[in-house]
Amino acid sequence: MIALLHHQFIQYAFLSGTIIAIVCAIVGYFVVLRAQAFAGHALSHIGFAGATGAALIGVSSLTGTFIFTILAALGMGFLGKRIQGRDVEIGMILSFALGLGVLFLKLYTTNANEAVGILFGSILSVTSYDLLLSVISAVITLLLLLIIFRPLLFASVDPEVAEARGVPVQLLSIVFMILLAMTVTEAILVVGVLLVFALLVAPAATAQHIAKRPFATILLSVILGLGFTWGGLLLALFLHGPASFFIAGLASLTYLFAVPVYHIVSPHFYMPLPHEDREK
């Protein structure tokens, strides 16, 4: 096992997976908090159309994914809080984008391996260029998120009150959707279009059922995201299977197991406050 870690492609896989897992976990916290999981799912499918369209004209699939997701994110961002409850409209866009991607894939038949990588991820074939782009994108995303963290948290928890107090809710919505698009583009590199939910939503959703304070929830989300990514990579190396499957499998099983267990166990450890006893 130690010998495998000396291979450059394995090192690149762990480095890129670590970076992307951290960014997805932090951004995913706000995705779950703002109830925009479906929007993130739609962006991944829109990215598929961009990736296959870029391949058709001879451009990097990563570039095509980035351009398409950014444009879609701007449109969703301008909807602001109105994006909630627009599942039908987003679903129509998602279906159209997926159909467009299939059309581009039909026209571009010279490299089926690249299409499979876009759909299911190709973390074990990450290049130094991909790693560099991931680092740059992650640094920009985390810096911007750090700058807008407090107002974004306020606007996510109570947008009406935040807007009444002068918080630029609309602008924050646009900026966050752009950050989400950048994160989705990175995540596609690891788990692909079809499994992007695994890293973007599962760690944060699991963490929010267990921890209550924002920073504790984000920290737990990061720990879970890293655990899923590293565990999935190790299983892929041991069992010679697709890394994206193991990452998504660990994420899904952890959520399905941890959340019900927590809700069963936590009431037994809950200590009522004195005023709650008096009220009873």
CA distance 7 to 3: 8
β strands within the chain, DSSP E: none
* The pLDDT of residue 221: 94
pLDDT at 119 over 70: no
Q: Which domains does the chain have, with CATH numbers?
A: 4-263 (1.10.3470.10)
Q: What are the percentages of helix, strand and coil residues in the chain, rounded to 5?
A: 85, 0, 15
Alpha-carbon distances of 37 from 27, 34, 41, 268, rounded to whole Å: 11, 8, 6, 31
Using the predicted structure, report yes or no on whether residue 274 has a pLDDT greater than 60.
no
Residue 153 and residue 214 in contact, taking contact as beta carbons nearer than 8 Å: yes
**pLDDT value at position 46?**
82
Please say if the pLDDT value at position 194 is more than 80.
Answer: no
- Percentage of the chain surpassing pLDDT 90? 15
Task: Give me the mean pLDDT over the 160-179 stretch.
Answer: 87
Element (H, E) at 172: helix 169-191
- Give the tens place of pLDDT for each residue, 132-163: 888 888 899 999 999 999 999 998 888 888 88
Task: Identify the pLDDT of residue 113.
Answer: 58
pLDDT tens figures, 13-62? 888 889 989 999 999 999 888 887 777 777 877 877 887 777 777 777 77
